[in-house]
Amino acid sequence: MKTAMYGRMVLGASAVLLGAIALIWHDADTWQTLIQIWKLPSGITIGGCLMFAQIAGGIGIQFPRTERLASIVLTIVYLLFSLACVPGILAAPAVYERYGSFFEQFCALCGAIALVAASGLNAALAKALGQAARLGLGACVISFTLGQIIYFRYTAQMVPGWIPPNPRFWAIFTTIAFALAAMAILINRLARLAMRLMTLMLALFGLLVWIPRLIAHPRAHFNWSELGLTFLITGAAWVVADLRSF
């Protein structure tokens, strides 16, 4: 399927971008909660290796000969990134932002698992991994919904003012869209349609929100990381939606 190829391209390019900017800029704006990795003993070396692995995985998933190995590499990388968010949650369990950061990385993990499932495994294992990727993505979308509710004012501020009718309308609309998508994905009713529509919405976030901000403020590291993360999540949702069986 051509759409499956495009999903891999988006996810892979985003993985390369995020790996590159993290290697260039070792700061909290590019690593955010993953700054915990830098704080480990030999954290600079560990973080560098993980970023190189992410870049290699992002490139490798584009080619049939290396697709499966690269998908496994990305699965390991995003599993470690997800686990790196857990100490922040335990340290401040009442701060929802920590959970949101975890589910962003977990969404990328679901995309990587979907790529493994699509890499030519036996049917039973592929279906099991596909179901895990779908359910995991559904949980992530619940997190996205709650994040937009909790940080509603910030969500509305992110909407460009030139889009009619007004930012508040689109903040409400996208929150409802996330909630409906989460339900459809988790109960597996019109799940593929829900994931495709959500993929389009996420892509529009990147195109309408983060690319203009990046053009206006190219030196702001946060804009680079948010652009990469938005399209990483877009790619993850895309490849899960393109699974033949889940």
| pLDDT surpasses 70 at 32 | no
Reported as a single tens digit per residue, the pLDDT across 204-234 is: 999 999 999 999 999 999 999 999 999 999 9
Q: What is the model's pTM?
A: 0.94
- Whether the per-residue pLDDT at 35 is higher than 80: the answer is no
How many domains, the chain? 1
Spatial CA neighbour of 4 closest among 124, 125, 108, 117: 117
- Characterize 179-217 residue by residue with b for buried, 16 or more Cβ atoms within 10 angstroms of its Cβ, and e for exposed: bbbbbbbbeeeebbebbbbbbebbbebbebbbeebbeee
Model pLDDT, residue 20:
93
> Looking at the domain assignment, is residue 23 inside a domain?
yes
C-alpha span between 163 and 97 (Å, rounded): 27
Burial level of 122, CB count in 10 A (0-12/13-18/19+)?
exposed
Cα distances from 152 to residues 137, 156, 161, 205, 234, in angstroms, run 22, 6, 16, 15, 21
Q: Determine what percent of the chain is predicted with pLDDT higher than 70.
A: 95
Q: What pLDDT does 31 receive?
A: 66
pLDDT tens-digit series, residues 122-136: 889 999 999 999 999
Q: What angle do CA 139, 198, 56 make, to 5 degrees?
A: 75
22, 221 Cβ separation under 8 angstroms: no
At residue 222, the 3 state secondary structure works out as helix
The full DSSP string for 128-169 is HHHHHHHHHHHHHHHHHHHHHHHTHHHHHHHS-TTSSS-HHH
Q: 3-class DSSP state for residue 65?
A: coil
Q: What is the pLDDT averaged over residues 114-126? A: 91
Q: Answer yes or no: is 246 within a domain.
A: no
- Yes or no: say if 221 and 25 are a contact pair by the CB < 8 Å rule: yes
Domain extent at residue 107? 2-241
Q: What confidence score (pLDDT) does residue 126 get? A: 92
**Residue 64 lies inside a defined structural domain of this protein:** yes
Among 110, 153, 147, which Cα is nearest to 246's? 110
Report how far residue 14's alpha carbon sits from residue 80's, in angstroms, rounded to the nearest whole number. 18
Asked whether the beta carbons of 240 and 44 are under 8 A apart, the reply is no
Cα–chain center distance at 173: 21
Q: How many CB atoms lie within 10 A of CB 240?
A: 30
Q: Are 60 and 69 in contact (CB under 8 A)?
A: yes
